[in-house]
Structure 1
């Protein structure tokens, strides 16, 4: 059996915006985007992106975009309505993201029906490409390093950094750039996994579903 190249594998870039890990079991998802990657390139026109009603007021925190506020989120669908659409797009696929363990921890705790094939982390791949470097490894910095900021803006003209769709497309573009630098020829999925895969978290003992309304 011929091992598929990484570009032939079922890949989807994912990013979500949440209230923050300090909320512990009450941490809520506010926005999520899923961007298919076909032939090694993101397909923004086929992306699924949505705001999510967290079922409670959103605290003011520096990392929460001003666009993710109570007024906007009160008319968004609750996570229970969104989860089946996410499961359809993610189950059986390889989830790509920058520091994807953070997103997966929250997504997995809130949406147990989602069962991906695995996780591929562009941060882990970037560290393999730049061994010993510990600064400038954030998504925005790496986009600048690889001259991908303008391309991301062109692919998401109505988006902005630190919003789900922008960051998901950016992670997909970064993956392609890093693969191109790390391997002289297109690697197999197995080769990419050796460098970029992180383990799926074990199933948590319980989940904390979000309620149906903002207030």
Structure 2
């Protein structure tokens, strides 16, 4: 129901950390986090986050956090062990993410039967607001002054880890909504019109990079 206030919609913030798009069809998921939103705020006690054992060695790459390496991944569950739980947390909900089409393509490759209600992209909303921090989530968090709230919510969290990035996207969504609609609370349909991304098959979903 898209005419409901956006805060009442079933929203979950999602982030995946992977080996990188240059691996093409062999890109592996290394970490995943799903953070439900309650009244427009991240519900961290109900969040789900885990490293994922890709079943192969992971080369060091600049975008992979130092905390994600062969040693830490060796004791993590393989994706098939978390797939059912992950799908249950996403099905029929609106996925919020930063440049969410990239995460959606990778998720859909591993969970082809997952059925979210739709996708909401904080990057698209930031561009609609007219922010000039480029594409980086960390730059937008800094511009929005959300660093303190994130530190309180995740005292040991760090950027480029799935739980931090998903939580940051949740905080950023609420801040951006307030910037784009300063005098009223939009409906989910309003938000979808500005930040919605089509649930296209992975090969058809354009990358913003």
User: Same fold by TM-score, threshold 0.5 exceeded?
Assistant: yes
Contact 1:35–1:168 (8 Å) recurs in 2: yes
Partner deviation per Cα, 1:80-129 (whole Å, 9 max, x = no partner): 01110110100000000000011111011111131100000000000000
Root mean square deviation, CA, Å:
1.5
**The residue matched to 1:45 in structure 2 has which SS?**
helix
Partner deviation per Cα, 1:7-52 (whole Å, 9 max, x = no partner): 0000000001000000011100000000000101111111000000
Contact 2:17–2:161 (8 Å) recurs in 1: yes
- After the TM superposition, which segments of 4 or more aligned residues of structure 1 sit over 2 Å from their partners? none
**The residue matched to 2:106 in structure 1 has which SS?**
helix
Aligned length: 202
Give runs of aligned pairs for residues 88-107 of structure 1, distance below 5 A. Answer: 88-107=88-107
CA distance, structure 2, for counterparts of residue 156 and residue 84 of structure 1:
26
CA distance, structure 1, for counterparts of residue 193 and residue 187 of structure 2:
10
Match of 1:212 in 2: none
**Superposition TM-score, scaled by structure 1 size:** 0.90
1:203–1:144 Cα change, 3 Å: closer
Match of 2:123 in 1: 123
CA distance, structure 2, for counterparts of residue 5 and residue 83 of structure 1:
30
Contact 1:86–1:114 (8 Å) recurs in 2: no
Structure 2: gaps (5+ residues): 204-209
The one of 176, 179, 196 equivalent to 1:178 is 176
Give runs of aligned pairs for residues 29-108 of structure 1, distance below 5 A. Answer: 29-108=29-108
Contact 1:92–1:115 (8 Å) recurs in 2: yes
Match of 2:196 in 1: 197
Contact 2:2–2:188 (8 Å) recurs in 1: no
